[in-house]
Amino acid sequence: MTKFHVITGGMGFIGSAVVWEMNNSGIDNLIIVDSPSTNNSWKNLVNIRFADIIDKNTFIKKIEENKINYLIEGIIHMGACADTTENRVDYLLENNFQYTKKLATWAINNNCRFLYASSAATYGNGPDFADDEEKIYLLKPLNIYGYSKHLFDIWAYRNNLLKQIAGIKFFNVFGPNEYHKGEMRSVIHKKFYEIMETGKANLFKSYKPQYKDGEQKRDFIYIKDAVKIIMFIYKNKSINGIFNAGTGIARSFNDIAKTIFSILGKKENIQYIDMPDNIRNSYQYFTQADVKKIRSAGYKETFLSLEESIQDYIKNYLLKEDPYLKPFA
């Protein structure tokens, strides 16, 4: 009897890219769990292959009542509220903490592989971005989104579950299939269209003397690299715990803008604007993944550089009539 892989958040950015990556290996016995909305995330599904799609509330009810009528090999839990500006505490705690607890508990009790999305937002301002579970209580997220993710990491740690399940702290993921995310789209996607439409790129001024305007830095990782990390950990059931998904190299917003201008053959025109008051106090000026742990676990793939990633994104997706990920198997 066929066993299925469940991808929660499978209509979303990273979730649909996981389905794409599995399709690339000829795997399509996949069940997508998501909450269909009025945005255009459904378009992420058009090119990919899967067996079924289930509403997230229906699925968790079946989990709670132990009425799952599929044989499930594993769950890749990418579903969550990923809006870092969301401030409804009750909503975030239910969606990002309680929902994940229920899924993880069921997966462990039913001997299923369980991999979940944590976030680099759990690190706050660092300065240490090491995925060391022994330092978990030292982390201080800057917003409720990061804290809601941090809560599950702590719960899993306290209950000694990180020897049985795997969590991934995504840094700044960008690439195809992020188009429905509105203001949560990557800066690469936003600046591409801004430069195309206006010929200039607006970047935030710095409010810290150690950073020049536009020199705030993030660890940007291309979606194609991110899903390779996911699948490496998911397939290797002996690899558990929390792992960073970043390149280990922080790059500036100026670097991004200059790269896009270069690829499009346009003259550089960067302007620095005021940062909105509502994010000024919770803004991360620097993130850089410590990747020693994932490397020591045996991950040997080379990450695409920022320039290579943006080149692929623009030339093979953003400038194409169909900008969505399409399986090649």
CATH number for the domain including 50? 3.40.50.720
**3 state DSSP class of 283:** coil
Alpha-carbon span 305 to 224, nearest angstrom? 12
Alpha-carbon span 81 to 100, nearest angstrom? 12
Does 329 score more than 80 pLDDT? no
48 is a domain residue: yes
pLDDT of residue 303: 98
pLDDT of residue 84: 62
Confidence of residue 125 (pLDDT cuts 50, 70, 90): confident
Phi/psi of residue 158, each to 5°? -60, -35
Alpha-carbon span 318 to 176, nearest angstrom? 8
Confidence of residue 245 (pLDDT cuts 50, 70, 90): very high
Ramachandran quadrant class, 101 (left: phi over 0; alpha: psi -120 to 50; beta: rest): alpha
pLDDT of residue 3: 95
Q: How many CB atoms neighbour CB 263 within 10 A?
A: 18
Q: Which residues are catalytic?
A: 145, 181
275 is a domain residue: no
261 is a domain residue: no
Percent of the chain with pLDDT over 90: 83
Q: How many residues does the chain have?
A: 329
**Domain with 119 in it:** 3-175+219-248+285-303
Q: How many CB atoms neighbour CB 285 within 10 A?
A: 15
Q: Considering only 83-92, 117-126, 227-236, which range has the smallest mean pLDDT? A: 83-92
Single-letter code of the amino acid located at 260: I
Q: Considering only 34-38, 79-83, 231-235, which range has the smallest mean pLDDT? A: 79-83
**Pairing of β 201-204 and β 217-218:** unpaired
Half-sphere exposure of 56 (CA within 13 A, CB side): 22
Q: What integer is the mean pLDDT of 66-77?
A: 94
145 is a domain residue: yes
162 is a domain residue: yes
Distance of CA 280 to the CA centre of its chain: 23
Does 87 score more than 90 pLDDT? no
Q: For residue 198, what is the enclosing H or E element?
A: helix 187-198
Phi/psi of residue 250, each to 5°? -85, 140
144 is a domain residue: yes
**3 state DSSP class of 125:** coil
323 is a domain residue: no
Total tally of structural domains belonging to the chain: 1
239 is a domain residue: yes
